[in-house]
Amino acid sequence: MTENNQPGNNLDPWYSHYAERAAGLRASEVRALFAVASRPEVVSLAGGMPFVSALPQDLVINAMDQVMVKQGPTALQYGSGQGVPALREQILEVMALEGIQANADDVVVTTGSQHALELVSKLFLDPGDVVISEGPSYVTAMVIFRSYQADVDHVPMDEHGMIPEALREHITRLKAAGRTIKLLYTIPSFHNPAGVTLSWERRLEILAIAKEHDILVLEDNPYGLLYFDKPAPDAMRSVEEDGVIYLGTFSKTLAPGFRTGWALAPHAIREKLVLANEAAVLSPSSFSQLVISEYLATADWKEQINTFRGVYRERKEAMLSALGEHLPQLEWTNPNGGFYVWVTLPEPLDSKAMLPRAVKELVAYTPGTAFYGDGNGRQNIRLSFCYPTPDQIRLGIRRLATVIDGELDL
Ligand code: PMP
- Residues in contact with 155: Cβ distance below 8 Å, sequence separation at least 6, in sequence order: 132, 133, 134, 135, 162, 163, 166, 167, 170
SS (H, E, C) 144-178: HHHHCCCEEEEEEEECCEECHHHHHHHHHHHHHCC
Determine how many CB atoms are found less than 10 A away from the CB of residue 11. Answer: 6
- Rounded to whole angstroms, how far apart are CA atoms 200 and 391? 35
The mean pLDDT of 30-36, rounded to a whole number, is 73
**Rounded distance, CA 166 to CA 188, Å?**
16
User: What pLDDT is stored for residue 35 in this prediction?
Assistant: 79
d(CA 132, CA 112): 22
> Which of 364, 395, 394 is closest to 382 using CA atoms?
364
What gap in Å lies between CA 179 and CA 129, rounded to an integer? 7
**CA pair distance 221, 236, nearest whole angstrom:** 10
- Which of 135, 91, 85, 146 shows the shortest CA–CA distance to 113? 91
Instruction: State ipTM.
Output: 0.99
Gap between the Cα atoms of 284 and 111, Å rounded: 6
Q: Which of 220, 254, 281, 285 to mutate to test the pocket of ligand 1 (most atoms within 8 A of CB)?
A: 220
**410 Cα–ligand 1 center, Å:** 38
Q: What is the DSSP letter of 10?
A: T
Beta carbon of 224 within 6 Å of any ligand 1 atom: no
Burial of residue 155 (CB within 10 Å: 0-12, 13-18, 19+) is: buried
**What amino acid occupies position 159?**
E
**Which atom belonging to ligand 1 lies closest to the Cα atom of 117?**
10
Per-residue confidence at 166, pLDDT binned at 50, 70, 90? very high
What is the arithmetic mean of pLDDT over 268-291? 97
Rounded to two decimals, the pTM is: 0.96
Query: Is the distance from the beta carbon of residue 187 to the nearest atom of ligand 1 less than 6 Å?
Result: yes
Confidence of residue 38 (pLDDT cuts 50, 70, 90): confident
Q: Which of 239, 235, 257 is nearest to 248 (CA)?
A: 235
Distance 245 CA to ligand 1 centre (A): 15
Q: Whose CA is nearest to atom 11 of ligand 1?
A: 114
Residues 95-110 have a mean pLDDT of 98
Q: Is 338 in the pocket of ligand 1 (CB under 6 A)?
A: no
251 Cβ below 6 A of ligand 1? yes
Mean pLDDT, residues 274-281 taken together: 98
CA-to-CA distance for 146 and 148, rounded, in angstroms?
5
Q: Which residues contact 343 (CB under 8 A, 6 or more apart)?
A: 323, 330, 331, 332, 333, 380, 381, 382, 383
For residue 369 and ligand 1, the question of a CB distance below 6 A is answered with: no
Average pLDDT over residues 284-311: 98
**DSSP for 29-40?**
TTHHHHHHHTST
Mean pLDDT value across residues 281-299 = 98
% of the chain beyond a pLDDT of 90 = 90
Q: Which atom of ligand 1 is nearest to the CA of 111?
A: 14
3-class secondary-structure state, position 294: helix
Please count the CA atoms within 13 angstroms of the CA of 194 that sit on its side-chain side. Answer: 23
Residue 389 neighbours by CB distance under 10 Å: 14
User: Reduced to 3 states, what is the DSSP secondary structure of residue 68?
Assistant: helix
- Residues with Cβ within 8 Å of 195's Cβ and at least 6 positions away in sequence, in order, are 333, 334, 335, 338, 340, 341, 342
The pairing of strands 340-344 and 216-220 is: unpaired
Nearest alpha-carbon partner for 356 in 4, 5, 35 = 35
Could you tell me if the CB of 256 is within 6 A of ligand 1? yes
* pLDDT tens, residue by residue, 106-136: 999 999 999 999 999 999 999 999 999 999 9
221 touches ligand 1 (CB under 6 Å): no
The CB of 249 under 6 Å from ligand 1? The reply is: yes
pLDDT in tens, 335-345: 999 999 999 99
